[in-house]
Each structure stands twice: as structure tokens, then as C-alpha cells.
Amino acid sequence: MSTCKSFAQRPPETHPSSEHQLISMTFDRSSSVGDQVLWVPKTVLGSSSDESLKYGRIHLTCLSSSSAEKGRCPTTHVPDSATGSSVIPLLFRERRSGLATTLDVHGYHQRIGPTRTCAGDYWMREERPLWSSLGGECVSTELPIGTGAALLLPESEIQRLVAGRWDAQMELLLRADPDGPVLATYTFTFELTITDHDRVSIYFPEYDQATPHVGLNVKYNPFPTPTIAGKRELEMCLYDGLGSQSNYLEVTISDSGKAAPGRPLDRFSVWHEGGGGAERDRLDYKIQLQHAGVPISMENGRLQPLSGIDTADLRLVVLPGMSQPVYCVPTPLTLEMPRVDASTKANGYYSGNLRILMNVPTTTP
């Protein structure tokens, strides 16, 4: 029995041609999305035994060396001998809020030799920055005849984006002769829809904790008849984990006190520290929620839909436990205790718990 050795074949004759890639993804930040490979290693950009084509000096450049709008990197070749991967900062913009974040795209190129003298698989060992025009050689008589490249957006970069719809476009120009014409244009359009279901929050900007302690500012007025009343404004912001792109949200506000027979549906209560259950042992107050400039009187325990979340004004905040800012929808509350005769209420300290729940649509935008 004879044994046959297999040898790598030289990359095929390939001439540069312009390409456009659409990278469209939908994922939640709690999941692993992986590196987004734009070009697998050794993607051939050009290769030919015709040395006059200079495919062994192929290099890529950007449209700007200062703006990351379509990728930031040198706009002309760099004829040095540096090795290693290169980084192209690329601007991503969130469609709803306009929030901008720059992510780093990584890439390099490798030269293709005419024979196996330099490498058994025709690929020269050195990885060089994409904009390097250095041909390289392993022996004086053997120059490269082609070039391949690798390009990817690492998962670690993608995870820097918060929930929302993110758009970006990168454009790279290919030349073989540094002073020659553009042989191909490569365009990469990114459309990333990101959710963050684990971070859905009702946020109170004035307070660090999720359960703020809020007073009603109850004040005593002795003239002309002794009365008490109180009012408190409370900032509240709703984060839906979808980049504030829900069509609607649902909010329910309820108190957790004792039963209060005969109390109006739009009243909430705090109770006297003595523990009594009579009307004189509680103070009733109203809650008004403001959404999109419209005041809404809340009823105790009743679900209140809020429409137009995807068009409402936004507020940039840093939520507890998050390092990146996100946009939430401001829905300030007004807690107001109408004026009552002081003699009808027991003297002392009153307290109560208020529970606010938010329902988020289950469908991804």
C-alpha cells in the first residue's frame, strides 16, 4: 500500500471586486452573541502570477483618518514593517435616541507567495496592518503575488452597546499600487437590534436605592381653622429594556395598607403608627402621573396603559448596576394630600408602602 501526501493548493487567481455586506442581528445583552466575522482569515482579496498587477502589495485604507463615521484609519498606505492586527474605530448610532458609541473593528492581511519556499501552504507567516503596503519576501527572488485578509467585530465590543437599534457603516478602499487607482470598495452595513430584558427598571433619579423613602410634606395650617395638607413631586423614569422603543407600557400603582371601605378609587393612604384602622387613623392622598405632557390621575390598583413610548421625550441616566448610560421615559409623579380638618385625624407619625409595577410588551421591537 502506498501513502500519498497532500499539499495545499495555491490560492486561485482572484481579481479584486467591490462587495457590500449587511450584518443584521437581533439579540439580548444577557446572551452570548460571539465575534461577528466579516472576513474569515485568509479571505483572498487579490492573487495573480502576473506581477505587474502588484497584488502582493494590496492594502486597505479608510475615507477619513479623523472621523469614525465610516471607519477611522489611515487614508493612504503605510510602508513600514509593523506586524500584528490593526484596529478601525467605527461609530455606531442608536436610531431612537441618537446616542453614539465607537466600537473597534479588528483586522490584518497576509501575503501569498508564488511557491511553497516561504510557507508550505503558500501563505506567508506575518500578519500586518490592513493599510501596510509592504510586500515582504523570504528570499530575494521570491516576492508575494497575492493578499488575503481577516476582519471581525469582537463580541467584547458589541457588548458595550446598550439596548436599542444601532446602525453603522464602514467603508474600506483597496489599492495594489499606493499611487494607483482604487481597485475595489468594501462596504459593511450594521443593523443591530439589542434588548436588555434583565435591566427593565422603574428608576427614581433622586434616589440611589430602588425603594425610596418619600415624605408627603404634610403641613399644619392653624388659620382660620386648623387644617393639614401635603404635596410632593417625585421624579420617575421608565426603562423598558428595549431602548425605549415599546409602543406602550403599563403601570399599576397600589398601596399595601389596611382595607379602607368607602375610600374613593383614586385615593391612596398612609396609616397612623398606633395601628388603628378607623378613618381618623389614615391620611388619604392622590397620585397624578404625567406622561408626554398629559397628567393622568391614577386609581389604586388599576392598570394604566401609557402609549407612544417610542415617540416620548427621553432622559439620559445611568441605572444602578450599569456602567453605560441609557435613555428612559420620564413619567413624574405628584403625590398630593388634599386639605382636611386637623381635628379629624390622630396626632402622630403616619407611614405606608406604595407599590409601582410596570408591564413591558413581550415582543421585541
The pairing of beta strand 19-28 with beta strand 333-341: unpaired
Domain boundary, last residue among 195, 215, 244:
195
How high is the pLDDT of residue 135? 81
Check whether residue 188 and residue 270 sit in a common domain.
no
127 and 237 fall within a common domain: no
> Is 120 inside any structural domain?
yes
CATH of the domain at 24: 2.60.40.2520
Range of the domain at 59: 19-195
The pLDDT assigned to 1 comes to 42
On whether both 169 and 205 belong to a single domain, the answer is no
342 part of a folded domain: yes
Return the bridge partners of 26, or none.
193
In this structure, the number of other CB atoms found within 10 A of the CB of residue 305 comes to 11
User: Same domain for 176 and 268?
Assistant: no
Q: What is the CATH number of the domain that holds 239?
A: 2.60.40.2040
Whether 223 is in a domain gets the answer yes
How many CB atoms sit inside 10 A of residue 222's CB? 8
Whether residue 3 is contained in a domain is answered as no
- The three state secondary structure string of 264-322 is CCCCEEEEECCCCCCHHHEEEEEEEEEECCEEEECCCCCEEEEECHHHCCCEEECCCCC
Is 4 a domain residue? no
Question: Rounded CA gap, 326 and 316, in Å?
Answer: 6
pLDDT at residue 5, as a whole number: 42
Is residue 236 situated within a structural domain? yes
| DSSP-based three-state secondary structure for 156 | helix
CA distance 257 to 310: 35
- Report whether 49 contacts 114 (CB < 8 A): yes
Decide if 160 contacts 88 (C-beta within 8 A): no
Same domain, 172 and 124: yes
For residue 16, give the nearest of 110, 146, 150, 169 by alpha carbon.
146
Per-residue confidence (pLDDT) for residue 275, from 0 to 100: 87
Domains contained in the chain, number: 2
Task: Give the pLDDT of residue 4.
Answer: 43
Per DSSP, what are the bridge partners of residue 304? 251
Same domain, 52 and 157: yes
26 and 167: one domain?
Answer: yes
pLDDT attached to residue 57: 94
Q: What is the DSSP string of 187-250?
A: EEEEEEEEE-GGG-EEE-TT-SSSS-------EEE-SSS-EEEEEEEE--EEE-SSSS--SEEE
Helix (H, G, I), strand (E, B) or coil at 165: strand
3-state helix, strand, coil in the chain (%, to 5): 5, 45, 50
Contact 94, 245 (CB under 8 A): no
Residues 106 and 187 occupy one common structural domain = yes
Boundary residue ending a domain (141, 171, 195): 195
User: What is the model's pLDDT at position 3?
Assistant: 42
Kindly give the confidence (pLDDT) of every residue in the chain, 365 residues in length, as a single tens digit, with 9 standing for 90 and above.
Answer: 444 444 568 899 999 999 999 999 999 999 999 999 999 999 999 999 998 999 999 999 999 999 999 999 999 999 877 889 999 999 999 999 999 999 999 999 999 998 887 777 889 888 999 999 998 766 556 789 999 999 999 999 999 999 999 999 999 999 999 989 999 999 999 999 999 999 999 999 988 766 788 999 999 999 889 999 999 999 999 999 998 989 999 999 999 888 898 999 999 999 999 988 899 999 999 999 999 999 999 999 999 999 999 999 999 998 887 888 899 999 999 999 999 999 999 999 999 999 999 999 876 55
* Tens digit of each residue's pLDDT (9 = 90 or more) over 174-230: 999 998 999 999 999 999 999 999 999 999 998 876 678 899 999 999 988 999 999
- Does 240 map to a domain? yes
Beta-bridge partner residues of 98: none
- Both 186 and 202 in one domain: the answer is no
Strands 100-112 and 19-28: unpaired
Give the SS3 label for residue 350: strand
- Looking at the fold, whether 189 and 209 belong to one and the same domain comes out as no
Q: Give the separation between CA 141 and CA 143, rounded to whole angstroms.
A: 7
259 and 351 share one domain: yes
Both 170 and 217 in a single domain? no
Domain membership of residue 288 (yes or no) is yes
